[in-house]
Amino acid sequence: MSVSKKELEFNKNDDAMRMKLSELKTKFAKVELGGGKKKIDKHHSKGKLTARERIDLLLDKDAESIEIGAFAGDGMYKEYGGCPGAGVVIKIGYVKGRQCIVVANDATVKAGAWFPITGKKNLRAQEISIENKLPIIYLVDSAGVFLPLQDEIFPDKEHFGRIFRNNAVMSSMGIPQIAAVMGSCVAGGAYLPIMSDEALIVNKTGSIFLAGSYLVKAAIGEDIDNETLGGATTHTEISGVCDYNCEDDESCLKTIRDLVDKLGHTPNAGFDRKEAEMPKDPVKNIYGILPRDRAKPYQTKDIIKCLVDNSEFTEYKANYGKSLITCYARIDGWSVGIVANQRELVKSGKGEMQFGGVIYSDSADKAARFIMNCNQKNIPLVFLQDVSGFMVGSKSEHGGIIKDGAKMVNAMSNCTVPKFTVIMGNSYGAGNYAMCGKAYDPRLICSWPTAELAVMSGASAAKTLLQIEVASLKAKGEEITDERRDELYNKIKSRYDEQTSPYYAASRLWVDAIIDPAETREWLSMGIEMANNAPAEKPYNVGVIQT
């Protein structure tokens, strides 16, 4: 039986996606090792579990969980030997059936020291907790600030001190915070567990002090060992700093589970949920639908059918502003509003062809209206990005593309319902902004391995930068041959392509994670569940919008 051209293309796309997923799996396996096998063995020799082992024991077995920022720090700080996972593991999961966010220092990475990206990742965990009123559990095992980079982590607004400010603010908001000191907790870092609601400490391995024994000796001449200075017995029997003295990691984690089990509940946001149904179109069909060549068009509706319950959705303004799809659907039972870029060439209402992945005036106007409707109906929003930007040229400018784009950005920025963003492919320029990029406070933002984030594509940027480079060299009297021009172009494009990679974005926490497309439903469902903890605190108001 012969294979059709369409089936052949599907299979080639599927192969290309699976290759990218294999790369993702390989990279993640390296991140999971933290500081490496030798460091893990040394950690175990002290009677301590690793950060990931602690989280696995803490969370309910066989329950879903998602990881935040696994690739944070990827490729950064090479001169210091790197900082895998930013030296901290963060997961959203369930403890005794209660959804929580867990932050665990990875002491196999530079003794759990705080690099600048470590601070950013910890602040992201607290931001998620604050926005969603999600209980947060800190598993502390850190040597404190990484001193060679102290100027990038210590004094500024979004640096180390912001963690403790957030501890105080979260406490005032009634967000449960539990901290377990399972290793070092030194200097300014000592404030984190003690500014939490309850603090546990592991006997013989946990310690808390503003200055260790060596510094105490140097500063005031006192001879004292670390255990007497700030160990479990000291802080549970003498200072009263900690509330629970635990014999080992296992008993500490069990105590935390018991504490979470007794937490009270608060009113939720009232997002609608029914019994979940799997899509009729298998989720993994996405692998074959998404083209391996990002310039090729495809039907975004086929992707949506693989993500939503029963593969059913109700499209809003289906025949207007066709370069964006707006529709109501359910994902794992949750009611959602979806805003997605349409990559297929489409005809506008005036019969003109519109490029795929480009936002036109009519599309922006439709999206703004849809977003306002979702806020009116208390329906969470999901943005599926594969966007090249807004349409340019005299016709678009005269038609008011800036005004309509601003309308969409305004409506999206002022949302009181939670927003979730999935970057499927391109995420270029102002399109990233309008489709709820990181700057617009999505509750979670993830990308597929096929994503690219940049002001423009590598090819477009390289051509622009090449013109500037060639003009500069010619001004200096250099003759530019075709070979020299190609060499410059390839060099510029290679550098730019590296910066558009989803791993580059994930290392800097521009996205929370790079995920297998087949995991998208799970991510969105867990995200909406956590957002349901936090009712809107103000009415929806878009302010001034030009019409």
Q: Taking a C-beta distance cutoff of 8 angstroms, is the pair 449, 21 a contact? A: yes
User: Using CA atoms, how far apart are residues 271 and 525, in angstroms rounded to an integer?
Assistant: 12
pLDDT exceeds 60 at position 1: no
Cα 363 from chain centroid (whole Å)? 27
Q: Is 465 exposed, middle or buried (0-12, 13-18, 19+ CB in 10 A)?
A: middle
**488-508 residue pLDDT tens:** 888 888 888 888 999 999 999
Higher pLDDT, 32 or 487: 32
- Report the pLDDT averaged over residues 518-526: 98
Higher pLDDT, 50 or 463: 50
Q: Which of 5, 3, 15 is nearest to 290 (CA)?
A: 15
- 3-state class (DSSP) for residue 139: strand
Local structure of residue 416 (DSSP, 8 states) = S
Mean pLDDT over each residue of the chain, to the nearest integer: 93
**199-211 residue pLDDT tens:** 999 999 999 988 8
Local structure of residue 113 (DSSP, 8 states) = -
Per-residue model confidence (pLDDT) at position 210: 85
pLDDT exceeds 90 at position 67: yes
Per the structure block, which two tokens stand in for 80?
């210091």
Per the structure block, which two tokens stand in for 446?
């993830």
User: Using CA atoms, how far apart are residues 147 and 156, in angstroms rounded to an integer?
Assistant: 15
Per-residue model confidence (pLDDT) at position 2: 64
Q: Which of 94, 42, 89 is nearest to 67 (CA)?
A: 89
Report the percentage of the chain scoring pLDDT > 70: 99
- 3-state class (DSSP) for residue 464: helix
Per-residue model confidence (pLDDT) at position 381: 98
**305-363 residue pLDDT tens:** 999 999 999 999 999 999 999 999 999 999 999 999 998 877 777 777 677 789 999 99
Per-residue model confidence (pLDDT) at position 81: 95
Residues sharing a CB contact under 8 Å with residue 19, sequence separation 6 or more, in sequence order? none
Phi-psi region of 473 (alpha: psi -120 to 50; beta: other; left: phi over 0): alpha
41 has which bridge partners? Answer: none
Q: Fill in the amino acid letter for 496.
A: Y
Cα 378 from chain centroid (whole Å)? 23
> Which residue's structure tokens are 């549970």?
236
Question: b/e string for 327-362 if b means 16 or more Cβ within 10 A?
Answer: bbbbbbebbbbbbbbbbbebebeeeeebebbbbbbb
